[in-house]
Amino acid sequence: MERRMNARPRLVVIGGDAAGMSAASQARRQRGTEDLEILALERGPHTSYSACGIPYLVGRTVSSSDDLVSRDPATFRDEFGIDVRTGTDVEAIDLARRTVTARGSDGEAREEPFDQLMIATGAVPVRPDLPGMDAPGVFGVQTLSDGIAVREFVDNEKPETAVVVGGGYIGLEMAEAFVQRGMRVHLVEAADEPMGTLDRDMGRIVRDAVAGMGVEVHMREPVTGIETAPGGRVRAVATESTRYAADIVVLGMGVRPNSDLARAAGIEVGPTGGIAVDARMRTSAEGVWAAGDCVQSLHRVSTAPVAIALGTHANKQGRVAGTNIGGGYARFGGVLGTAISKVCGLEVARTGLNETEAERAGFEFETEVLKSTTRAGYYPGATEMTTKILAERRSRRLLGAQIVGWENAAKRIDVLATALWNSMSVEDIAAMDLGYAPPFSPVWDPVLITARKLAERM
């Protein structure tokens, strides 16, 4: 606490990835170095990286981990006047004294004072409390360091068999990466179908496709433990019904908001486990902001809070927080739960509410599922895609959409996301003037036909 009373205001940022560094950079754009001191504290060695790129690093689609880093600490220091301390773990926030306790890579804890505090602590992977989960050869894929560790393990240890636990986006993308590295791959999932954010009928298409690409897919098999070899290294994954030999295990069981630090400081945490923030990204504590995977967001369709860990939200929310911290005005508009992924050529996307979510939110709704081609049927490369939409019974308003298909299928979800953002009815969607040419679409775009068919039925 050797700080002078007259020093320029100080922003402390906890977490140096998308949300934290977006906020820091945006605050800097608003306020010069003479007006605002910015200190960013990051537990790991990396800043502003693409966690979504990790499967491509492991699969060697991307050659170096450097490619996944958009700005390193030196860039922030030199170009933004932001002091980034990596290897620094924040252990506590003291709202009364307006300090954080930060333990540096030298092992020493320091009190760092702040005038404004930005919490961007991200998410933590779900790791069930089962025997062997911490054995060597068992990896999470949350941080870039995790990704580098997996890549090095595969490069050096040359595992022959992989078990991926969890059939969500990350799990499937990692399964693909391991297939690309020539490994035998088991995908083990407790639910009925992979991609739990899709409805079962759509998840089924994904399962069949992934199985067709050589991944051995095992559904309805909760993991009961990890078996280790003498010496401690992983040897197999045990499920309720059987066991799968494994030279490497990756956990892709989802994440939860990392809000413990905030909660311990007395900052409000919402029912989702994410830090409660308003549209300006203010927490319940004066001068304390939060953004990214550690917060909960308003879902525009259900109007309920949700915790969705995604780089796009983290970037936007960080930018909103930074603008407001810097004295500007910005609001975050909420989320739709849009997500997209590509697994061995299979494209999967969703937005809004799926059937389970719509039921939980109390909607009465109808659904329509349409199989179509991605291009004019006669045009080379036309492949099958399946579009599913949900609309509210009374208002005919779109509630959600899912797409599974091959080339040029999934990014069409953006049209439905834009329609959802505007609370469009299925009639209005069917009427829209979308781009048509044989290489891009049948003359009736699949999105439009699906909406039209549902509109006609309602």
CB closer to its own copies, 56 vs 365: 56
Nearest-approach distance from CB 432 to its own copies, in angstroms: 5
CB closer to its own copies, 90 vs 330: 330
Q: Which residues of 143-157 are buried (b: 16+ CB within 10 A; e: fewer)?
A: bbebbbebbebbeee
CB closer to its own copies, 112 vs 176: 176
Is residue 113 left, alpha or beta, with left meaning phi > 0 and alpha meaning psi from -120 to 50? beta
Three-class DSSP labels, 208-269 = HHHHHCCCEEECCCCEEEEEECCCCCEEEEEECCCEEECCEEEECCCEEECCHHHHHCCCCE
Active-site annotation holds for 52: yes
CB closer to its own copies, 13 vs 308: 308
d(CA 114, CA 98): 6
Catalytic annotation, pick one of 8, 30, 44, 52: 52
Nearest-approach distance from CB 446 to its own copies, in angstroms: 11
d(CA 54, CA 292): 18
Largest CA distance in the chain: 74
Distance, first Cα to last Cα, the chain: 66
CB closer to its own copies, 298 vs 369: 298
Nearest-approach distance from CB 87 to its own copies, in angstroms: 25
d(CA 105, CA 117): 21
β-sheet bridge partners, residue 118: 13, 289
Q: Which residue has the tokens 């996307």?
A: 349
Lookup: tokens for 356 = 């389970």
Nearest-approach distance from CB 323 to its own copies, in angstroms: 10
CB closer to its own copies, 105 vs 436: 436
Question: Of 243, 238, 232, which is closest to residue 128 (Cα–Cα)?
Answer: 238
Q: Which amino acid is at 373?
A: T
List the Cα angle 223/225/229 in 5-degree steps: 135
CB 202 within 8 A of CB 192: no
Nearest-approach distance from CB 245 to its own copies, in angstroms: 31
Nearest-approach distance from CB 417 to its own copies, in angstroms: 6
CB closer to its own copies, 1 vs 329: 329
| Site residues for its own copies per CB under 8 A | 18, 50, 52-53, 56, 61-62, 67-68, 169, 300, 310-313, 315-316, 332-342, 349, 351, 376-380, 408, 410-415, 417-419, 421-422, 424, 428, 431-441, 443-445, 447
d(CA 141, CA 49): 13
Q: Which residue has the tokens 């304390």?
A: 288
Q: Which residues are catalytic?
A: 52
